[in-house]
Amino acid sequence: MWLDNFKIAFKNIKERKSRVFLTFLGIAIGIMAIVALMAIGEGMQEAVVGELSSLSDTVIVTTADVTAGPMGGGISGANTNYFSQRDIDDIGRIGGIESIDPILFGYVLMDFNDEIQYVSVLGMNPGRMSEIFGIEFLGLESGEFIKEGDQNRCVIGYNVAHEYFDSDIHVGSKIILNDKNFYVNGIYKKQGAGFSTETDDYVHMTERDFEKLTGDKNISGIFIRVENVGDAEFIAAEIEYAIDENHGEEGYANAITMSSLLESVQEIIGIIQIVLIGIAAIALVVASIGIMNTMLTSVMERTHEIGIMKAIGARNTDVMSIFLMEGLIISLIGGVAGIIFGLIGANSLGSASTSEFMGPGMSLEPVVTISSIIMSLSIAIFVGILSSLYPARKAAKMSPIEAVRYE
């Protein structure tokens, strides 16, 4: 019975290919949008979370009047509070800590080819530099990190190397910082406007060079690795407590763990995903109106045939199922095509957005999960049935005598 109704529905569709094609295109675009946008959302989630997870054993401590980015280097603002050596020593006494890296921050004048710019400088333990900034998605574009004992050498950010001055700075170039000669040992990859802008506009050097250059030993941030990721939150709280105690001011220190950051980033991505799916849903609503329109036209055109079928004994449910099947076939074919287009679209959109927004260092691989395909297909089926329900009911309710008279 169902198979017979399916065959009739299929023949009806074949009879009016071009109109059905347009309807089918509507649903295909809707489903395509869902698949592609979900894949990109999922890809974004994986890219960001994957990278942040590799840093989940990290705790970043800044003074509360300073903002810190997730990479520890994002120290900016006119900070007046600094950490003391005693703070560092106290942190060292907390159990479960693997390493402590104080980070010094300041501004200097940079002269290159007689052009002068203000730049931000970070001083840190050179042995730890590659540990902190050498991870895969940061890393160097060219050159090397500074080694222990290096003097007057620095690693500069992408923007400092390529944007700040008329001509590009290369590895080995001589730059002048506050009247002292420095040599460029390495240049960071571009991080772009993503979450890790902390290297693009910075000059990194050893603590000793930083002190020589600025005359200060202002510790603006502390970069801490814990032994056990599970203890990170607890250790962060202990650090805050210890430092606040030292300075006699509650909230003096602000210790951020990567896992708490991860949560908020995931939240943001979740919102982005909902927005993306919302956009796709609009496309789908339009598509479902298209199906309903096509089905209503089909019901009207077939009034006479509905009458014939009823006259020869078709039940209301037979008529209804024929029209439901028609809607279902259109949406199902549209859905499958939409998924295929979506896969293609996700890939091209993925590679485009990778180079456009994330910078060459970051890669956004769209991730298409089986569940997203099943979900899209279910949505297609649902939309198909839902939007042909009204037309199908209308067809089923027709009076056979009036329908058969209708020409």
Partner 1 sequence: MDEYVIVTENINKIYGKGDIQVNALENVNINIKKGEYIAIIGPSGSGKSTFMNLLGCLDKPTSGKLFIDNTDVSKLNESELAKIRREKIGFIFQKYNLLPTLSALENVALAMSFAGVSVKERYERAEKLLDMVGLSKRVTHKPSELSGGEQQRVAIARALANKPSIILADEPTGNVDTKGGWKIMDILEEINKQGETVIIVTHDPDVAKRAKWVIRIQDGVVSAHVAR
Q: Output the smallest distance, CB 392 to partner 1, in A.
A: 16
- 120, containing H or E segment: strand 115-124
- 300, containing H or E segment: helix 258-301
Q: Output the smallest distance, CB 309 to partner 1, in A.
A: 7
Q: Output the smallest distance, CB 394 to partner 1, in A.
A: 15
Q: Output the smallest distance, CB 14 to partner 1, in A.
A: 8
The answer to whether 53 touches 262, Cβ cutoff 8 Å, is yes
Nearer to partner 1, 7 or 174 (CB): 7
Nearer to partner 1, 1 or 370 (CB): 1
- 385, containing H or E segment: helix 370-396
Q: Output the smallest distance, CB 290 to partner 1, in A.
A: 22
> How does 269-285 read in b/e, with b if 16+ C-beta sit within 10 Å?
beeebeebbeebbebbe
Nearer to partner 1, 180 or 315 (CB): 315
Nearer to partner 1, 307 or 342 (CB): 307
Nearer to partner 1, 307 or 384 (CB): 307
Residues 6+ apart with CB under 8 A from 356: none
Beta-bridge partner residues of 202: 120
DSSP at 299: H
Q: 212-216: list long-range contacts, CB under 8 Å, 24+ apart.
A: 212/180, 213/106, 213/108, 213/121, 213/177, 213/178, 213/180, 214/104, 214/106, 214/108, 214/121, 214/178, 216/104, 216/106
Nearer to partner 1, 8 or 124 (CB): 8
- Chain residues binding partner 1 by CB under 8 A are 1, 4, 8, 11-12, 14-15, 304-305, 307-316, 318, 400-401, 404
Question: Tokens standing for 23?
Answer: 């309807």
Q: Output the smallest distance, CB 337 to partner 1, in A.
A: 24
Nearer to partner 1, 5 or 196 (CB): 5
The answer to whether 66 touches 77, Cβ cutoff 8 Å, is yes
Q: Output the smallest distance, CB 24 to partner 1, in A.
A: 19
